Amino acid sequence: MTWHVYIIECADHTLYTGITSDLDRRVTAHNAGTSGAKYVRSRRPVTLRYSRPFADRGLALKEEFRIKQLSRVAKLALVQGQN
């Protein structure tokens, strides 16, 4: 199974980082369903800005944690492909 670390940009221009095994389903859930993250629900619509696949869930979780520790500027650089 492939896992994805992703960054979405919310309507208020904030960034949200998460992991999933089904990227399309997860982005759709963030935009439409009640199963999206609570943080995102009041900040719809969201746009996928970054994703990276991982073969292992543990590695994806470690990368998610690393990205969440980054500053907004560093996350934007990652999204723009500068990291």
| Average confidence (pLDDT) over 20-37 | 88
The residue whose two tokens read 């990652």 is 78
Residue 22: pLDDT over 80? yes
| Average pLDDT of the chain, as a whole number | 93
pLDDT at 54: 98
- What's the pLDDT at 82? 67
Which domains, from first to last, does the chain contain? Answer: 3-79 (3.40.1440.10)
The pLDDT value given to residue 38: 85
Radius of gyration of the chain (CA): 12
Global confidence as pTM: 0.93
Return the number of other C-beta atoms located less than 10 Å from residue 8's C-beta.
24
